[in-house]
Amino acid sequence: GQQQSMLLQSASSFPPPKGTKLSYGTAGFRADASILQSTVFRIGILAALRSLKTGGAVIGLMITASHNKVSDNGVKIADPSGGMLTQDWEPFADSIANAPDPESLIQLINEFATKENIPLDGAKAATVLLGRDTRPSGESLVNAAKQGICSVVGAVATDMGILTTPQLHWMVRARNKGLKASELDYFEQLSSSFRCLIDLIPKKSGGDNNNNPIGKLIVDCANGVGGQKLQVLKEKLNGLLHLEIRNSGESGGILNEGVGADYVQKEKVPPQGFGSADVGIRCASLDGDADRLVYFSVISSNGKNKINLVDGDKILSLFALFIKDQLSILLSSVKNDEYQPRVGVVQTAYANGASTKYLGQLGLEVIFTPTGVKYLHGKAEEYDIGIYFEANGHGTILFSDRFLNWLEEDRKNEPSSTAKEKQNAVKRLWAVSRLINQAVGDALSGLLLVEAILQHMGWSVDKWNQLYHDLPSRQLKVKVADRSAVVTTYAETSVVKPPGIQEAINATTEKYPQGRCFVRPSGTEDVVRVYAEASTQEAADELAASVAKLVD
C-alpha cells in the first residue's frame, strides 16, 4: 500500500555504498562521511520503527563521530530512556544498513515489523528527535535521516539543530518522562543545581564562599560543539564559575586535531593552544561531541611540556568519595533495619589498578563490565546509586527512583531539630541527581559536578590528583586481518580464542611486578588493543610490546 510505495521511492534515492560492510558497533555506525547517506537514511527508518514499537515514545537520532576526524561522521540511536539503543535491535541495524538494494531493504523491514509486531498501517504516531555535532557533513546527513523517518507513515522528525550528544539523550529522557525538555531547560537545570551545590558549601568562619577559592579553569573544547554550549552555561552562571574557554572551534582550529579529551588521554600531552603559561592551572578537555571529560595540569620538564592527567577513573573516585560522604552524613542516624541504599561503582578493564584499589578502600562495591557505555550503564542501573566511568572520561551517576523518592520523603519529614548538616546532605544529593545527566555521560554536566565538589572540598587539581597514584600504563594497537578472531571473556580480561594466547599473556605478565595486561578486539577500528600496567613505565611499555607480538 501507501507505506510500501513511500519506502520504495525514497530508498531509491539513497543507494548504499559499494564494497563496504558497515556495523553498528559500540557507538553506532561510523565511517567517512561521504559514504554515510544511505546508512543514515536507513537508520532514520529504524528510529521511526523503534518509536512505533515503544508505543510512540520519543527516540533520538544523533549525527556524530565523536573524537574521530572531522571528515568522518556517524549515527546512533537513543532509546526512550535516553540510553543507548537496545542491543537486540543492533542486528537489524546491521542488516538494513547493508541491504544491497531498495527491494531487499523493504523486505527486511517488513519481516522485522512482522516479527516485532510493529504496526506499519500509519494508525500510530512516531516521534524522532534529531541532533548533530558541528561537522560540516552533519546538515546533509540530518536531511537523509529526516527522509528516512518521514518515509514511515505517521512518523515525525523534529530537528533540534546542533547539540552535544548528551544533550540529545537528556532531551529524549526528559520528553518521555513528561518533563521540561528544551535546550533552555537543560541549561536551566544544570545551572540551578550547580548553584545549589555551591550555596550548600559549608561557610568557613569569617570567610565567605562567593569568591571561588580554587581559581580558574581552562577548558579545551576540541574545536567542537562543547565550546558554544559551555559558553552558554558560563553566561548563565554569571561569575560562579571562573572559566576560560579554548579551542572552541570558533577561531579556526580543526575538530579533534591535536585537541580534545581522546587526544589528551591517549597521548598524555597538552592539547594545542596550551603551554608553559598554563603550568599550575586547572585544565580540562572535552571530546568532539562533549560526552567525554578529562582534567589535567600542564607541567614543564626540561623545556618540554607534559601533563599530569586526571582521567575518568579519578573523576569517578572524586564523585564516589563525595557521594559516600554525603550518604554517611545522611545515614548516621538510620537504623539498621531501615532502607540502606546500595552504591555500586562500575569500571572496565582499562581502569587503572590504583583506582580500583582506592575505591575498594573506601568500602565501595566495584564491578567490571566490557568496554562500551551500554554495558557500564546497564550495570549501574542495578544499584540505588550506580556510578560508572571509563578511563577515557565517559561516565555518569544513576539514581534509582526508589532512592530519590526516599530522599524526597526524608527531605519533607526531616524534623526541624535535625542537624542542619543532615538536611544539607539531602539537598546536595538531590542537586547532584539533577546536575548529572542520568541518560548518558555528559562532559558539561560532569565538569560542573567536578567543579562544585572541588570548591566544596577546597581542593586544587593536584590535591585531587593525589587521591591515589596511577600505576604506569601503556596502550598499543595491533593491526590485524580479522579482529573478530580474538574473543574475550570475564569483562575482556581473558582471551578464549585463539587458544593458547591467554596462557602466553599470563606467562609474560608474571615477569613484571604489579603487572597486569589484557588484549581485546576494538569495537570501533580494525585493530586489537593491548593494555599493560606495571610498577614502572619501562616495564609497562615492555610488557605491552611483548604481548603485542603475541597477537600479531
CA dihedral of residues 468, 473, 477, 478 (deg, nearest 10): -140
Round to whole Å and give the CA distance between 533 and 536.
8
Q: Which of 72, 79, 220, 287 binds Zn ion (CB under 5 A)?
A: 287
Is residue 394 at the binding interface for ligand 16G, with CB under 6 A as the rule?
yes
Q: For residue 392, state whether it binds Zn ion (rule: CB under 5 A).
A: no
Taking the complex as a whole, the smallest distance from the CB of residue 428 to ligand 16G amounts, in Å, to: 28
Q: Residue 287 or residue 390: which is nearer to Zn ion going by CB?
A: 287
Q: Which does 390 bind (CB under 5 to 8 A by kind): ligand 16G, Zn ion, none?
A: ligand 16G
For residues 56 and 413, is the Cβ–Cβ distance under 8 A?
no
Q: Considering CB under 6 A, how many residues would be counted as binding ligand 16G?
A: 13
Q: Give the sheet arrangement for strand 385-389, strand by strand.
A: 365-368, 343-347, 385-389, 395-399
Segment interacting with ligand 16G (CB under 6 A) among 7-15, 16-24, 134-142, 516-524: 516-524
| Catalytic status, residue 473 | no
Contact between 72 and Zn ion by CB under 5 A: the answer reads: no
The yes or no reply on residue 392 touching ligand 16G (CB under 6 A) is: yes
Is there a contact between 57 and 80 (Cβ–Cβ < 8 Å)? Answer: yes
Alpha carbon 254 to chain centroid, angstroms:
22
Residue 350: exposed, middle, or buried by beta-carbon count in 10 A (0-12, 13-18, 19+)?
A: buried
Helix (H, G, I), strand (E, B) or coil at 520: strand
Joined grid coordinates for residue 297: 595540569
Name the minimum Å distance from CB 287 to Zn ion: 4
Using the contact rule CB under 5 A, the part of the chain among 96-104, 203-211, 285-293, 329-337 near Zn ion is 285-293
Query: If binding is defined by CB under 6 A, does position 27 make contact with ligand 16G?
Result: yes
Residue 66 is a binding residue for Zn ion (CB under 5 A)? yes
* Cβ nearer to ligand 16G, comparing 371 with 488: 371
- Give the alpha-carbon dihedral of 479, 484, 485, 488, to 10 degrees: 110
Q: By CB under 5 A, tell whether 289 contacts Zn ion.
A: yes
291 binds Zn ion (CB under 5 A): yes
CA dihedral defined by 502, 503, 505, 511, rounded to 10 degrees?
150
> How near is the Cβ of 350 to ligand 16G at its closest, in Å?
8
486 binds ligand 16G (CB under 6 A): no
Which entry of 10, 38, 51, 66 is annotated as an active-site residue?
66
User: What is the crossing angle of helices 225-237 and 443-457, to 10°?
Assistant: 40
Does the footprint of Zn ion cover residue 147 (CB under 5 A)? no
| Residue 289 interface partner, choices Zn ion, ligand 16G, none, CB cut-off 5-8 Å depending on type | Zn ion
Q: Please say which residue, 85 or 550, places its beta carbon nearer to Zn ion.
A: 85
Helix, strand, coil shares, percent, the chain, to 5: 40, 20, 40
Q: Are 189 and 176 in contact (CB under 8 A)?
A: no
Contact 522, 499 (CB under 8 A): no
Query: Hey, which residues between 331 and 390 contact ligand 16G (CB under 6 A)?
Result: 371-373, 390
Q: Which residue, 294 or 373, is less far from ligand 16G as judged by CB?
A: 373
Q: What are phi and psi of 341, to 5 degrees?
A: -60, 140
For position 522 contacting ligand 16G by CB under 6 A, the verdict is yes
| Binding residues for ligand 16G (CB under 6 A) | 26-27, 371-373, 390, 392, 394, 522-525, 529
| Binding residues for Zn ion (CB under 5 A) | 66, 287, 289, 291
Task: Tell me the catalytic residues.
Answer: 66
